[in-house]
Structure 1
Amino acid sequence: MNTVKTGYVRPLDLRKGRVDLGFGAGGRAMAQLISELFLRAFANDWLARGDDGAVLPAPAAGERLVMATDAHVVSPLFFPGGDIGSLSVHGTVNDLAVMGARPLYLAASFILEEGYALADLARIVESMASAARAAGVAVVTGDTKVVEQGKGDGVFITTTGVGALPAGRDPGGARARPGDVVLVSGRIGDHGMAIMAQRESLAFDSEIVSDSAALHGLVEALYAAVPAEAVRVLRDPTRGGLATTLNEIAAQSGVGMELDEAEIPVSAQVQAACELLGLDPLYVANEGKLVVLCAPEHAGAALAALRAHPLGTEAARIGCATADPQHFVQLRTGLGGRRMVDWIAGEQLPRIC
């Protein structure tokens, strides 16, 4: 992001102004947008240099670098519990966190549509900056492009994150073993249903609010409570929900999964919305939930650590990994039967993250 002085006498009209093509042309208008909006919101020494990248200090001795990237195209851009700005921070911070890493830095790329209101863009950027500060990460470099009106959808954001992985931590999708316990940090489906309820103008006794949140504090609490080697797998069940995440892990590790339907936490509002729309909450996206596969002898301590953290108060033990050469994920239903929980087919909920 460039910090060149623009020479403009008149500041950006962040109340009534609109994005125009000049904001992506690389000239004075773009420099003004960056200086008066992005640099002001994300202020830090690395970004203030105005270079094409950021030279960052190395992590502590013995730590390894972890990198993750995520694109965000959610519609609508604002929803109960968040917006595309905070979501773009949480999504990439969580990708680092489930690798066991401490998130450190973010890069951000914005694709803006000509004509988009600067007031709404400023609201998104401020939300993003607030989420980054709360997560303890700095946005150290970035890029902005503008597309013609009708060829975008307001704002798209891609964030790339860098984190430090402490020695001894090595969670991964291929590390689950038969007998490992499956934990989830709270109620599933809140994010996807918050988006769909707003799109479809569904009204409930209480509003469905997205669970969008940064999970690295919850992960640190888990590692503080149990040995690092006991934490086999960490995942955030986003697109495709809990069901798809567990199928991915089962395939990577060569195990099966057996879940108990009665133990999987789902709010009454989400359950009702899913029934109304013909959806299964197991496949609905989350943006602030953690799935843990843990060695069975440490499962009690892991569950207690999750429940002691503000983001894990409703954590539950929902099943276990099994020795199954077919790598099936199965659900024990409330009626005492079993059903397959297969991979999702197609896109159940488009544009939810």
Structure 2
Amino acid sequence: MKFISQAILFVFLILLTAFGGGVAFSEELVGFTNLGKEYHVAVRAAEKLPNPDGIWGEVNLIYDIGKKSKPKVYSFEVYAPPIIRKAPFGLLVVSEKIGGMNGIYRVIYLRPTESGLIAIGGAESSLDNGRFVDAVAISPKWTKAASARELDSLFDSILVHRGDLVGSSSSQSFDGAFLFFSIPELMGKIRRVDALFLIDFSMVLNKTVDSSLANLIRRRFVGNQISLCDENQFDIFVCKIGKKTLAVCASNREGEDVIQYRIGRDRNVELSLSKTMSQRIFDSHELGVFERGEYRYIVKYGDNVWQGVVVEKSGITISKQQCEVEMVEPFLLPNK
């Protein structure tokens, strides 16, 4: 199945009154179950609930797969007006953006089956001024969870059609990325048959969807989570040098783009040097020169070139520390 774009196919929950319940605008979302039977999804009503727990309201989602089956109704609480749309690989996703640019983005993945909607999983991420800074798996309580057999069937389908997530003819969205946070073992299964998938996928996300989400994918699944960058920084280049980690991180400081050299071990930063980021430093296979008194640190990166850091003192090279080939996170510059 082709990857469905982020264009909203089904938007609902327009509250008609500020008090009590209201009737929601409703359209049917049509698709096919995992066995090819046509289904219809609709929302007929929404009710705003007066309570102190931050819950926005209660939604009734109606799932119908034909005249011979009785429609199933799923009632669940939401913390913001949600959106339901088609997601990759025949799934449905319910998403909520709670609290604006510094809130939470939450998604639930559902698989339409002949017996009803089953939960594949879900994830939520904190937002820092609109940037994704972490992601954890969550489980919905209002519908049955997928069995191991059902998950295996889905995994097989994703493995076969994984190219839909990175192909140039496929539009991208948050949905493809958050699927991996919902079921982290999925990434491991794909990488065992396609070692380049994660790098290709993160590059596509970086160019077309959101750089912070691409960064989060790499931190979670590349390089054994070795980065020394802070949560509010972007990992431009990371590698292991013996027992130490080398990281080049990007951030914005008072409206100015800053690039930072860090080296340390066990996630403890032993040396940190910063400079203003210039696009020119990426024109060659060097990430710029970082200076500390009479010392200069030159980070080199790139395919088919020596990768690591060259240290100079008073213009004379005193050491060349090479990255371990198997412990390099390929260069990625924040793009979108």
Fold shared, TM-score > 0.5 on shorter chain: no
Report TM bin, short chain: under 0.3
Instruction: Flag the structure with more relative contact order, 1 or 2, with Cα contacts below 8 A and sequence separation at least 6.
Output: 1
TM-score (norm 2): 0.26
TM-score (norm 1): 0.25
Larger Rg: 2
